[in-house]
Amino acid sequence: MDGTLLNKDAKITPFTAKIINKLIGEGLVFTYASARGLIMASRTTEGINFIYPAVHHNGVCVQNPKTGEYFRKCILDKDIMLKTIAKMRDNGLFPLVYAFIDERERYSWILGKETEEIKIFLKSRVNDKRKRPVNDYGELLGGDIHGILFLGKSSEELQKILDIDVHAWDEGGKIDLLKAGDKINVPEYLFEKIEDAAIGAQISKLNKDNL
């Protein structure tokens, strides 16, 4: 979601929403994939009558954008997170930890140990119900962790401190990052199959309407 669809306030205008809803009502398959979570994405896409699932947190979860129901979640391994949090503690790193806790999206940080960057982040989200301040590193492990955000450190510094294997973006197509048989490779897992004839009919109708 960018300036192609959104206005200067990073929202879909009522006029655009009306057009999109008309097309959805006529059979258009419309959805989105975003780095935002459902709460933030919903503020941007208010007014759209979604039918199909949406992708949030850069692919972490697939949800019903109207009800919040989860169709799929990608969770970080608990043992790996335990070791990672220990490295953070040993190196004095104080991140934001994103997790699903009691079927709710939350982000946690150690109260009183906020970096200047995290203070700015939190100040910009005064009424955010996802906030979960904790007292120590052990509490950062609560729930099913799906992401860790470091503010104030470069990626190069973090790679050395945490001893992380990093893959370049241009290697994405060369590396099999999914386990064999993973259902995310099956389009029908998320969307019903749309026949070519149905797509052709949509295109023909759009062309006719634009004449």
Which tens digit of pLDDT belongs to each residue from 57-99? 988 889 998 888 888 888 888 898 999 899 999 999 999 999 9
DSSP state, 92?
Answer: T
Mean local confidence (pLDDT), 191-200: 62
Determine which of 99-108, 155-164, 168-177, 197-206 has the lowest per-residue pLDDT on average. 168-177
Residue 202: is its pLDDT beyond 70?
Answer: no
User: What are the tens digits of pLDDT across the range 2-34?
Assistant: 667 788 887 888 998 999 999 999 888 889 998
Tell me the C-alpha distance between 169 and 173, whole Å: 9
Highest mean pLDDT among 29-43, 175-189, 196-210: 29-43
- Partnered with residue 97 across adjacent β-strands are 108, 148
Report pLDDT for 121.
Answer: 92
- CA separation (Å) from 89 to 85, 118, 140? 6, 17, 11
Residue 178: is its pLDDT beyond 70?
Answer: no
Residue 113: is its pLDDT beyond 90?
Answer: yes
Highest mean pLDDT among 8-17, 81-90, 146-155, 167-176: 81-90
Chain position carrying tokens 């979960």: 132
Question: Would you place residue 44 in the very low, low, confident or very high pLDDT band (cuts 50, 70, 90)?
Answer: confident
Tell me the C-alpha distance between 123 and 26, whole Å: 43
Mean local confidence (pLDDT), 169-190: 56
Q: Which is higher by pLDDT, 195 or 31?
A: 31
pTM beyond cutoff 0.75: no
Question: Would you place residue 177 in the very low, low, confident or very high pLDDT band (cuts 50, 70, 90)?
Answer: low
